[in-house]
Amino acid sequence: MKFTRMTRSLAVVMTGALALGGLAACNRDGGTASSSKGTVVLAVSTQTNPFFVQLANGAKAEAKAKGVDLKIQDASDDPATQANQISNAISTQAKVVIVNPTDSDAIAPSVKSLNKAKIPVIAVDRGPSSGDVASFIASDNVAGGRQAAKELAQQMGDKGEVIHLQGTPGTSSSRDRGKGFTEEIAKHTNIKVVAKQTANFDRSKALDVSTNLVQAHGGVTGLFAENDEMAIGAVSALGSKAGKSVKVVGFDGTADGFKAVAAGTMAATVAQQPTELGKTAVDQAADILAGKKVAATTPIKVITVTKDNVKDYQ
């Protein structure tokens, strides 16, 4: 009797382990298409932000088209997890690693270990602050911030008060977009930035932060959010004011962002082309695998999208 109970409990443990194995088996790609050429690992910063989901999807589609064996790792925005994933990629002998860093400084030691292991590195969207990369592919965030400021100033009639919603503190994208925006908006002397607050690139957080800021500054006529998710959160907070008395400019060009621009609740978004970022990265990885030379930096254009041209991007 005792014995059977024991066997049962052991069975529980075994079943758990088997479930793990089974799950793993389901999830494995039948990626044998180009195992002769080796695997390419894409270490992406997060898959809970539409922008990076599109980046990964662009990479996936291109890998399929080119027959590249691509493995995607998601760090859930934690630099330590990303470091772990890259050391795993080294020990599984990836041939090329495409990295979309969670943070430029934190990724540097990982890039150096990749250099030591002689695995070519392609950086996407953010670059490492040190270490060697074969290629760097990114949107120009500073220029994008400037474009956002120009568009917002023009739509506000070159005067009024502005709220600036910042992204996650410490991310280079937040720093660069903020820098471009701040420098450019300062040239418009009749426009005043009355509040700068972070909402961590997050829609629900932006809803709360904007609600509070609009309470404090009832007279604002413009709002710049460092990404579309926050801009959409701000639009919800502004309610009927959005698009009428308050012009909201976002950044990224996510599907929801374009929808809001088309609906007129957002005045504009500075569109990056995340699908293009992912696609270009895989193209260059394929070139490296084929022994071709790749450009050291590939800037991907950012485009100011308003109601006039949103149809071309949706």
Partner 1 sequence: MTSAVSAPTRPSPMARFGHWALNHGALVGLIVLCIALFIATPNFLTVSNIINVGIQTAVVAILAFGMTFVIITAGIDLSVGSLAAFSAMVSAWTFTSASMPGWLTLVIGLLAGLLAGAASGLAIAYAKLPAFIATLAMMSVARGLTLVISDGTPIPTAGAVNWLGEDLGPIPVPVIMMALAGVACWFILSRTVLGRSLYAIGGNPEAARLSGLPVKHILVVVYALSGLFAGLAGLVLAGRLSSAQPQAGVSYEMDAIAAVVIGGASLAGGAGKASGTFIGAILLAVIRNGLNILNVSSFWQQVVIGCVIAVAVGFDVFRTRKES
Determine the Cα–Cα distance for residues 6 and 11; give it in Å rounded to an integer.
8
Task: Tell me 189's DSSP state.
Answer: T
28 touches partner 1 by CB under 8 A: yes
Candidates 55, 63, 83, 271: give the one binding partner 1 (CB under 8 A).
83
Candidates 65, 80, 186, 255: give the one binding partner 1 (CB under 8 A).
80
Candidates 30, 169, 218, 291: give the one binding partner 1 (CB under 8 A).
169
Q: Closest by alpha carbon to 52, among 125, 135, 121?
A: 125
For tokens 């629900």, what's the residue? Answer: 204
**Could you count the other beta carbons within 10 Å of the beta carbon of residue 6?**
10
Q: Per CB under 8 A, which region of 79-87, 180-188, 213-221, 256-264 contacts partner 1?
A: 79-87
Candidates 64, 65, 67, 76: give the one binding partner 1 (CB under 8 A).
76
Dihedral, CA of residue 204, residue 207, residue 210 and residue 214, to nearest 10: -160
CA distances to 39, 113, 201, 239 from 211, rounded to whole Å, are: 47, 45, 16, 10
142 touches partner 1 by CB under 8 A: no
What x-and-dash track marks residues 180-199 binding partner 1 by CB under 8 A? ------------------x-
88 touches partner 1 by CB under 8 A: yes
Candidates 64, 65, 67, 92: give the one binding partner 1 (CB under 8 A).
92
Candidates 33, 60, 61, 90: give the one binding partner 1 (CB under 8 A).
90
Minimum distance from CB of 144 to partner 1 (Å)? 20
Q: List, in order, residues 6 or more apart from 44 with CB less than 8 Å away.
A: 52, 55, 56, 72, 73, 74, 75, 100
Q: Per CB under 8 A, which region of 77-85, 224-232, 241-249, 273-281 contacts partner 1?
A: 77-85
Q: How far apart are the first and last CA of the chain?
A: 66
Q: Which helix (H) or strand (E) segment is 39 a member of?
A: strand 39-44
9 touches partner 1 by CB under 8 A: yes
17 touches partner 1 by CB under 8 A: yes
Looking at the DSSP assignment, which residues form a beta bridge with residue 137? 124, 298
- Chain contacts with partner 1 (rule: CB under 8 A): 2-3, 5-7, 9-10, 12-14, 16-21, 23-25, 27-29, 47, 71-81, 83-85, 87-88, 90-93, 103, 105-106, 108-109, 168-170, 175, 198
